Amino acid sequence: MTEENFIPKPYTNLIDSGSFTWASPSNIALVKYWGKKEHQIPENPSISFTLNNCKTTTTVSFSKKEINTGFSFEVFLDGEQKEDFKPKIEIFFKRVEVYLPFLNAYHFKIETSNTFPHSSGIASSASGMSALALCLMSIEKELSTDVSEQDFIKKASFLSRLGSGSACRSLEGDLVVWGTHDEIKGSSDLFGVKYPYDVHQNFKNYQDTILLVDKGEKQVSSTVGHNLMHGHPFAQKRFKQANSNLSQMVSILKNGDLDQFIALVESEALTLHAMMMTSMPYFILMKPNTLEIINKIWNYRKQKGSKVCFTLDAGANVHVLYPQNERASVLEFIKNELVAYCQNGQYICDVIGLGANKL
Nearer to ligand DP6, 61 or 222 (CB): 222
Residue type at 73 in one-letter notation: F
Q: Which stretch binds ligand DP6 (CB under 6 A): 14-22, 86-94, 161-169, 278-286?
A: 161-169
Q: Which stretch binds ligand DP6 (CB under 6 A): 14-22, 102-110, 160-168, 184-192?
A: 160-168
CA torsion sign, 252 to 255 to 259 to 260? negative
Binding residues for ligand DP6 restricted to 94-123, rule: CB under 6 A: 123
**Least Cβ distance, residue 355 to ligand DP6 (angstroms):** 16
Nearer to ligand DP6, 143 or 213 (CB): 213
Nearer to ligand DP6, 167 or 330 (CB): 167
Distances (CA, A) of 44 to 49, 54, 64, 93, 223: 17, 25, 41, 25, 16
CA torsion sign, 268 to 270 to 275 to 276? positive
Binding residues for ligand DP6 restricted to 122-151, rule: CB under 6 A: 123, 125
At residue 57's C-alpha, the angle toward residues 149 and 310, to 5°, is 95
**Least Cβ distance, residue 119 to ligand DP6 (angstroms):** 16
Site string for ligand DP6, 166-195 (x = CB under 6 A): x-----------------------------
CA torsion sign, 172 to 176 to 178 to 182? negative
Query: Which residue number places its CB atom closest to ligand DP6?
Result: 165
Distance between CA atoms of residues 97 and 7, nearest Å: 10
Q: What is the dihedral of CA 41, 77, 29, 160, to 10 degrees?
A: -30
Residues with Cβ within 8 Å of residue 124, at least 6 apart in sequence: 26, 56, 114, 116, 118
Q: Does the footprint of ligand DP6 cover residue 165 (CB under 6 A)?
A: yes
What number of chain residues touch ligand DP6 (CB under 6 A)?
17
Q: Which residue among 56, 58, 160, 164 contacts ligand DP6 (CB under 6 A)?
A: 164
Q: Which residue among 17, 119, 145, 223 contacts ligand DP6 (CB under 6 A)?
A: 223
**Least Cβ distance, residue 307 to ligand DP6 (angstroms):** 22
Binding residues for ligand DP6 restricted to 26-45, rule: CB under 6 A: 29, 32-34, 40
Q: Which residue among 26, 187, 222, 311 contacts ligand DP6 (CB under 6 A)?
A: 222
Residues at the interface with ligand DP6 (CB under 6 A): 29, 32-34, 40, 46, 123, 125, 164-166, 222-223, 226, 272, 313-314
